[in-house]
Amino acid sequence: MMKPNLVKSLSRHHKLTLFSFHTNTNAHNIGKFHTFNHLPSATPTHANVVKSGLSNDTFTTNNLINSYLKLLKIDHAHKLFDEMSHPNVVSWSLLMAGYVRQGQPNIALCLFHQMQGTLVMPNEFTFSTLINACSILANLETGRRIHALVEVFGYRSDLVVCSSLIDMYGKCNRVDEAQMIFDFMWVRNVVSWTSMITTYSQNGQGHLALQLFREFNHIRMNKPNHFMLCSAVTACASLGRLGSGKITHGVVIRLGHDASDVVASALVDMYAKCGCVTYSDKVFRRIVNPSVVPYTSMIVGAAKYGLGTLSLRLFQEMVDRRIKPNSITFVGVLHLFNSMNEKYGVMPDARHYTCIVDMLGRVGRIDEAYQLAQSVQVGSEDDALLWGTLLSASRLHGRVDIAIEASNRVIESNQQVAAAYVTLSNTYALAGDWENAHNLRSEMKRTGVYKEPGSSWIEIKDSTYLFHAGDLSKCSQKRELLSLLRELEGRMKERGHVGVTTGLVFVDVEEEAKEEIVSLHSEKLALAFGLLNTPKGITIIIMKNLRMCRDCHEAFKLISDIVEREFVVRDVNRFHHFKNGSCTCGDFW
């Protein structure tokens, strides 16, 4: 018979051995979790966890859930989660983050709703995951509710949570609220700065994005990452700031981010939008293995610049390399419209139909364009773009009947109302129907619809100079500028140029007054300023907030030949590259 002390000793030894076995097994399994690279390697380890009696261990199960999520097997992860008797905040947060990463943010929000019915309290990782879900969905209402909970649970000073809130408010177009979060932060890192810069850039406030980017670089707290650089480049593109874009490109190269697909794509887009498509091509050709994103940026950039052949060549090159195009790619290569869905699995949307209407209008097939516009069902905003394109084509070809319906459709959508009135008014004038043209202008005044004032800007030596139509009050070179414009007007008349002022609807205005008004259009003022302040041989690049008028377009063609200079104008519709008396748009825009 064994002594009692010996029995106790053996029992204690057995328990220690059993504990050591479970601990070592657990550590061994967890170590294996990090080496999983495919599902077959995860299954045996999962089986060992069950055999070892560790399936009820929360820490072990969380590691296994995380492993399945890394393998993109979210159904396995969710099944494992459902089998847990007591999931903790890590369990819930891991599964939510998994659904967000796999593009199912709504399920993540539903999981949080379920979690609120338990005793588990959210942590900072939970909140940042939920805010990211709202950001993807641009769900402002839910995002604000999550923000309120952040305040209640005391995470208002958490760096990651605040950066996520800035991004969420930015995606929901609430720049002021994003800025309030940013201004409140005592400590910021490169992510929070990037979120705020991106918010400005994505919401049409490029100047504030660049201002904040300069501030970040001035304090030298850290080096900008490729996301921040991408947003800064995008801001330069939206503003047409070539000088700032080149400086940012220099920073990209110095920090070694020029190999990034995302940054390179942004640079390609920026140079194209700043009127330097040759620079776009140089950046594109330096990308070792371009994906669909830089290819698309280059294809669309070339198409907007009027280089259709280059767009088609790039598209063919892309297909030859077995890179699948996306919906935006086809905007630049719409002759392949019919193969979008059949061959590439991309369904045509409003943008593609609008481009087809534009193409038909360019070749004078207005009736076919009209039939296509009538057959397409799109949302109100897309409807305005579709019918606005048809309206411009109708004006060009003098189709008053179609222009009337197109303008009415645009006005009904409550989008681009002023532009629709003006274009229809110009259509009446070109057809010689001055009574209706005058009545339409009177209707605009009666209903309080005002055309946006024309403005153009030009960048010279890193400084931007803004010009408004008919306003030289702030120009220090007013006398020289007017003198140059008069000289150019005279030289154009010698070549037989007669202003196309009827297209501008000058009702009851004398001919001399018409010429004076047209010569003071903002793009002409910017051009004269550029000619006075840039050396010969430099291409003059001008940005304009409205569509370029016909008279200015004709004048720019002639002036390019007279002064032997190249001009690039980016208006609201497209690029115009004037050289040797012609334009890349082929007189259609």
Residue pLDDT, tens place only, 79-128: 989 988 889 999 999 999 999 999 999 999 999 999 999 999 999 999 99
User: Taking the CB of residue 93, how many other CB atoms lie within 10 A of it?
Assistant: 26
pLDDT of residue 67: 84
Most confident of 30-39, 426-435, 458-467: 458-467
pLDDT of residue 179: 96
Q: Dihedral through CA 325, CA 331, CA 334, CA 337, nearest 10?
A: 60
Place of tokens 């599964």: 95
pLDDT of residue 11: 47
pLDDT of residue 342: 59
Contact 217, 224 (CB under 8 A): yes
pLDDT of residue 258: 86
pLDDT average, residue stretch 227-240: 93
Lowest-confidence segment of 171-185, 278-292, 331-345, 525-539 by average pLDDT: 331-345
Lowest-confidence segment of 9-13, 207-211, 441-445 by average pLDDT: 9-13
- pLDDT bucket at 561, cuts 50 / 70 / 90: very high
pLDDT of residue 119: 93
Q: Dihedral through CA 278, CA 282, CA 287, CA 289, nearest 10?
A: 60
For residue 132, pLDDT beyond 60: yes
- pLDDT bucket at 481, cuts 50 / 70 / 90: very high
Q: Which secondary structure element, helix H or strand E, spans residue 232, and what is its range? A: helix 226-239
Q: 58-82: buried (b, 16+ CB within 10 Å) or exposed (e) per residue?
A: eebbbbbbbbbbbbebbebbbebbe
Q: What Cα–Cα distance (Å) separates residue 6 from each residue in 2, 14, 167, 420, 539?
A: 7, 12, 66, 99, 98
Give the residue from 512, 495, 498, 514 showing the smallest Cα distance to 560: 495
pLDDT of residue 368: 82
Angle separating helix axes 190-202 and 175-184, nearest 10 degrees: 160
In angstroms, rounded to a whole number, what is the distance separating the alpha carbons of residues 50 and 53?
5
- pLDDT bucket at 436, cuts 50 / 70 / 90: confident
- pLDDT bucket at 393, cuts 50 / 70 / 90: confident
pLDDT average, residue stretch 359-381: 78
Cβ neighbours for 92, distance < 8 A, ≥ 6 positions apart: 111, 112, 115, 120, 122, 126
In angstroms, rounded to a whole number, what is the distance separating the alpha carbons of residues 127 and 149?
9
For residue 379, pLDDT beyond 80: no
pLDDT of residue 68: 84
For residue 510, pLDDT beyond 80: no
Which three-class secondary structure string do you get for 207-220?
HHHHHHHHHHHHHC
Question: Residue 325 corresponds to which tokens in the numbers above?
Answer: 């195009």
pLDDT of residue 56: 67
Q: What is the pLDDT of residues 252-305, one digit of tens each?
A: 999 999 888 889 999 999 998 888 888 999 999 998 888 998 998 898 888 778
- pLDDT bucket at 470, cuts 50 / 70 / 90: confident
pLDDT of residue 315: 84
For residue 441, pLDDT beyond 80: no
CA atoms in the 13 A half-sphere facing the CB of 193: 25
Place of tokens 């994906």: 291
In angstroms, rounded to a whole number, what is the distance separating the alpha carbons of residues 121 and 88?
9
Query: What percent of the chain is modeled with pLDDT above 70?
Result: 82
Q: What is the pLDDT of residues 5-64, one digit of tens each?
A: 544 443 444 444 433 434 444 444 444 445 555 555 555 555 555 555 555 678 888 888
- pLDDT bucket at 381, cuts 50 / 70 / 90: low
Contact 93, 126 (CB under 8 A): yes
pLDDT of residue 589: 63
Domains contained in the chain, CATH given = 352-447 (1.25.40.10), 455-583 (no CATH)
Task: Output the average pLDDT for the chain.
Answer: 82
